[in-house]
Chains A and B, each alone.
Chain A
């Protein structure tokens, strides 16, 4: 068995909606059919009993080693704690070659699981040892390392539930929610509206206290000390007991509480001084509470206790700690609701203060404190008290957050009970923490867990907003780019800042931000990241879909222009038109439930996709009476068609008509394929509620020139002859062009064509076969990229297609695109028509434009 070409499908893809690892696996003949109960499976189960049942692609079929690899990869991830379910193995056309797809939650973990699965297969096969524990430990550690921490994770989970898309910006805890202009960011429990100034204020306890005091919030009085002696004077003036802590500290480092005498005070000062300036404060009696404020609301509260053990009169302190730590809920990291009590020098020092040693046996019921602070990370516990908080306490806490200016914060309160106002019990607010940990509220050690992630998401996205902008995905064989550009133009006419990707580049709000073929998911993701995008239109080509999946989890509108007889068949295991259709329908499968698929009713492959769409469907067709469209219309659903030189959009009894004469792109409806593109774009704009007047205005102002849609039916006048430049490169495109050109009056018809080497022989021959019926003269040239074919091979195929052509009288071979153009132009007279099927779009168009300008200059003279 050999594993080659591993891909991470990072969005909805050919196989499923899940993010998945896809591998091409080739198996030796003896590995292809492994009957149930075979030696391999027996050995595998001995090593890895948890692996699921091995089955072939269909029930009853024998499994291959590739199937085993799939199941092992899945089970390894499951055993490591990743919640995944989807996996699949499919045999390809090639004998013994399989595509293995396994879902992942973390790409790195998925890849590692596949690597371990391969090792396990080989170990089983070669009867060598395999350390399953090591594999699982590595996977578990990696997962813990790369997946989001519990605080961030809880917020992301809440976002996902609300349908808000998210994307991690760093390997850490920075996450972006929403798309384009609706994007928001968080970093752990900090939002993008958390002010940097407020955070700095929260860091400065003294400043915080003075601001809280100004707001009438009870705080422990005190101030920073210049030196030890000054500190002691402050202590005396405040009155004992006091607290000594560093001015800028976190996680309770260097804090000593309840100091009543000088000796301990000196020690405490020294400890705190290690972390910076020392603060001396009044000691507030009672427990530590942490109250979580989100926006202007109190959303959770917990009472926190330092790590402690309770004596039983039998066991030593050390034994008691071990007993507590044996609790399976106590883990080592941040992910569990409890953490093991650290029994270190600090704990021993704390014991000493209670006149105890690790070997002491505390009497029954005695509480032995092992640390001063109550942080969960050092073994403390948290008890949810959200429902106990007195309204007055909540009010003070909210004011404290507001005064410091942090929108999401943890307010530390010390008081005897949160059931009573702070003022009645000498309680106070000791600290306001930006970016608070949420773990103690999500999974407190005792009491009810609170969905604080949801509170944060609801605060960031109020009123049911889900952070999405309209996303329109366009796919199909021909007409994608024009449809994308026109749809974007209609949205722009509706005052939206539009992000657009297509085969020419990435455009945001009119500015080109990237060039080249940008019809893949990377470019689409970039658009969704751009802060100035209110709506996005994506050309979604097959390449990116196969390579990485979609750039979005779902779209508002999916347009499929046509499949026809396909293009690029034979690549990447997409051999038939049906395969291609299965691939392209992925965009339809991932339409939002309140979204719309815009489908070509006349293309059977496309029309069939309708039943796969989770949302509604709009059919379009030139022919108002096409059965698919007519049926849909009869059901009161949306359709777009042409009738009496109008484009008609209809739903039930509601009509909207746009005369084709007001749509320059269609040349009075002469160019059928452009009319189809217009109908698709109209349906899409309709689906995202662009008003009809705006759609009509947009259509009237859209011109398919070099600036508008370069390489898509660009028409020029050359010495009285009509030149049409187009990028069409497959039989369907050529057929559409021929139909369009047929409607245009001309004396002699000339066509310039090359063949792209990456098409099937038949597809190349078909192109000239079509042209031979419509053109008098054919100029053939060899394009820049022969994609592995030998010199002259493509030209020969093109010539083959012309064999027995009914109309073509003259055929000539030329080397080079520009030479071919020159040759054709030289053969034109006024009144003739020449279709130039260009290859290097930008260069060829510039060349043609140059020729045209030159001819105009000459004629002007």
Chain B
């Protein structure tokens, strides 16, 4: 019985497209030992115990394809690797990291499995897999397992390590539009698009959000005066330095007033609708405690609204909720808050909940609000008495469709005056569906980097596609977020081919990055001379803002152990089918397994992209079926049956005919190169290039729209510049 255990042999983070899927996964190798002899249906009580711990498993469709599918597999009998996959995914989802993809496959030797789960964060997935193993073992051995605690821990981990929900909604919207993304730090700094065409976001700020504008938005006084200059209605007010001066200002402005810190960011230290000297002075102290100057303003009657302006347009609007309770003559205010307000399932402490729980000890404004009504947390309001607990705080009610065009225009103008491309405009109005001036409404604040969650998860009303709006602001309909990316794999000729392609792109005038077996190159410069194919190193090219085109050589080993450094490519080149030899440590034992490994290079070709395949290698040529885009075949002879066939179907082909390199499509032919010319012949004689390399590279260059005379010139000059290889 002692060998009835699950052991991890290795865990690998595949950071890019891989043999399993397009997206990053965590691949674990496990040894289940004697459990190989004990499928789930043979372990008494196991399935019941497992379901009791994770009732959500019923939603897993598994290969059966319908709800309860996985449970059916459990009943029929399945093995721990497969069970761990589902348990890990369930744990990840429960923790707030939404993932659907998983796989479990026998690796070869008895009891050894590869378990794969989609990951959005390596650390979280490692922990989830470890927990899945422990949970499955607990279910097998009938031990108690603290599943709720584990999920709580994982949830915290997700909150800490994954990108926040505001950023995530922009990234997801970009992903939907096939815009790639790269996370640049442990926080919410994300690059959308590649190389020179990239844009950056950091939560709801973009790389075009001006630092000065952000500074202006934080200075409420300056913001207000700039807005007022341009005729945007604002609450009049002034800065004060003492409680006495605050009261003086309040009388001068006219009651009621509100009091707030000048440099505050959120609702902290803000008190509204103050009518007495005592209230104003108390509010002064509250605001002063936030550590900046204090501002006294005319209180604008009405509800708080938050309008999200993106690229000059209002894309979402929410209204603040007024949390209130009704007395029953029995319970205290504090109790009523618990019963009538905090019991709402939408309320919680974490960022994900649309509404905050209200605790008087944390919400001083609520205390002040109650005090104004003559109440404290311990008071017992008489039956049916309506008590407002808090006005500031949650912008919970979507009102996007109600916003009057005048209001929208002024909100957009306010953002423009401050200079922000994305802004959260706070305004107070009695009725957002009416023009501002007539109702005495005012814009009270313009915020840089506004939270998006309130628009994604309003407590009431429709969720708004603010992520799409921001993605659309960053990338207009016809803009190109990608740069030309060429990926190569093969048993041989890939290094020379990749260098020749990079050289041609360079001659085309593009700042070209190249990662190959010889190193990492940027234009004519070698950044480092060891292998440049490591994932981390290769990905640098896509992060680099100056890179206008990138060429990536890769190998089966890199593909299996790291994944590709890019998500999709314009051109995918396979020169020949790699051999399995040397990959035994990765459980690759026969050449037959190789096409399944290498096909990834085809899977990632964009639908408007091109596969460049060696027609003379059947296994390579057969991978054409996995390519979403077009196919160019190359061969050393025009007569190869596949070349003839493809050409007859009006496909592109590249071949050598006698001493001529020919690019052909249907009847159309271009003779790109003549080996009889001494300058060309020298290149081959000096072994700068091989015939196959020239074929593959020319085909790729053609796919990239490089002119034939440039291809010719590039081949002629290849290797004559010291940096070229």
Contacts and interface: CB of A to CB of B under 8 A. Distances in A.
Interface in A525-540: 525-526, 529-532
Interface in A181-206: 185-187, 190-201, 204
Nearest to B539: A214
Contact of B545 (A174, A185, A403): A403
A214 B209 contact: no
Contact of B185 (A170, A190, A191, A207): A207
Interface residues of A, number: 42
A198 B201 CA distance: 10
Nearest to A513: B231
Contact of B546 (A196, A399, A513, A530): A399
A207 B214 CA distance: 21
A215 interface: yes
Contacts of B419: 185, 192
B212 A191 contact: yes
Nearest to A199: B211
Contacts of B724: none
Given A215-B545, A403-B544, A513-B230, A434 B211 contact: yes
A192 B213 contact: yes
A192 B215 CA distance: 10
Interface string A725-742: 000000000000000000
A420 B700 CA distance: 38
A722 B103 CA distance: 90
Size bin of chain B's contact surface:
35 or more
Nearest to A191: B212
Nearest to B203: A197
User: What DSSP secondary structure best describes chain A's contact surface?
Assistant: mixed
A5 interface: no
Given A214-B543, A405-B545, A531-B230, A195 B212 contact: no
Interface in B522-544: 522, 525, 527, 539-541, 543-544
Contacts of A405: 200, 207, 545
Interface in A143-185: 169-170, 174, 185
A213 B229 contact: no
A195 B416 contact: no
A532 B412 CA distance: 11
A211 B231 contact: no
A402 B522 CA distance: 15
B417 interface: yes
Contacts of B189: 197, 200-201, 207
Contacts of B185: 204, 207
Most chain B CB atoms below 10 A, which of A190, A198, A215, A434: A215
A291 interface: no
Nearest to B526: A216
A201 B209 CA distance: 13
A506 interface: yes
Given A192-B419, A530-B229, A170 B222 contact: yes
Nearest to A526: B229
Interface string B170-197: 0000000000000011000100000000
B205 interface: yes
B545 A402 contact: yes
Most chain A CB atoms below 10 A, which of B226, B416, B544, B546: B544
A508 B544 contact: no
Given A195-B208, A532-B416, A211 B230 contact: no
B230 A214 contact: no
A530 B211 contact: no
Interface in B195-237: 200-202, 205-216, 219, 222, 226, 229-232
B262 to A, nearest CB: 13
A529 B527 contact: no
A526 B207 contact: no
Nearest to B208: A195
A861 interface: no
A46 interface: no
Nearest to A499: B230
Interface string B232-254: 10000000000000000000000
Contacts of A403: 544-546
A511 interface: yes
A693 interface: no
Most chain A CB atoms below 10 A, which of B211, B213, B215: B211
Nearest to A529: B229
B396 interface: no
A842 interface: no
A197 B213 contact: no
A526 B230 contact: yes
A508 B207 contact: no
A387 interface: no
Contact of B212 (A194, A530, A532): A194
Contacts of A402: 545-546
Nearest to B536: A214
Interface in B494-549: 520, 522, 525, 527, 539-541, 543-546
Given A170-B222, A186-B212, A196-B211, A213 B416 contact: no
A514 interface: yes
Interface string A594-629: 000000000000000000000000000000000000
Contacts of B207: 195, 197-198, 405
B209 A187 contact: no
A39 B525 CA distance: 82
A201 B419 CA distance: 20
Interface string B244-282: 000000000000000000000000000000000000000
Nearest to A213: B540
Contacts of A193: 208, 210
Nearest to B543: A214
Given A213-B540, A216-B522, A195 B527 contact: no
Given A169-B222, A207-B184, A530 B543 contact: no
Contacts of B416: 531-532
Interface string B413-441: 10011010000000000000000000000
Contacts of A513: 230-232
Given A200-B202, A513-B230, A531-B416, A195 B544 contact: no
Contact of B544 (A216, A525, A529): A216
A215 B546 contact: yes
Contacts of B206: 195, 197
A69 to B, nearest CB: 34
B448 interface: yes
Most chain B CB atoms below 10 A, which of A186, A207, A214, A526: A214
Contacts of A194: 210-212
Contacts of A198: 207, 211
B212 A508 contact: no
B521 to A, nearest CB: 9
Interface in B673-721: none
A246 B215 CA distance: 24
Nearest to B523: A216
Interface string A404-447: 01000000000000000000000000000010000000000000
B91 to A, nearest CB: 28
A506 B205 CA distance: 34
Contacts of A530: 229-231, 417
Most chain B CB atoms below 10 A, which of A195, A215, A216: A216
Contacts of B539: 214
Nearest to A528: B229
A261 B520 CA distance: 35
A208 to B, nearest CB: 10
16 contacts: A187-B215, A191-B212, A194-B211, A195-B200, A196-B214, A197-B205, A197-B206, A198-B207, A213-B540, A214-B540, A214-B544, A216-B540, A403-B546, A530-B230, A531-B413, A531-B416
Given A185-B210, A198-B211, A405-B207, 9 more contacts: A185-B419, A186-B212, A187-B215, A197-B205, A216-B525, A513-B231, A530-B417, A531-B416, A531-B417
The 8 tightest CB contacts between A and B, nearest first, are A513-B231, A214-B540, A216-B527, A196-B211, A214-B543, A526-B229, A196-B214, A199-B211
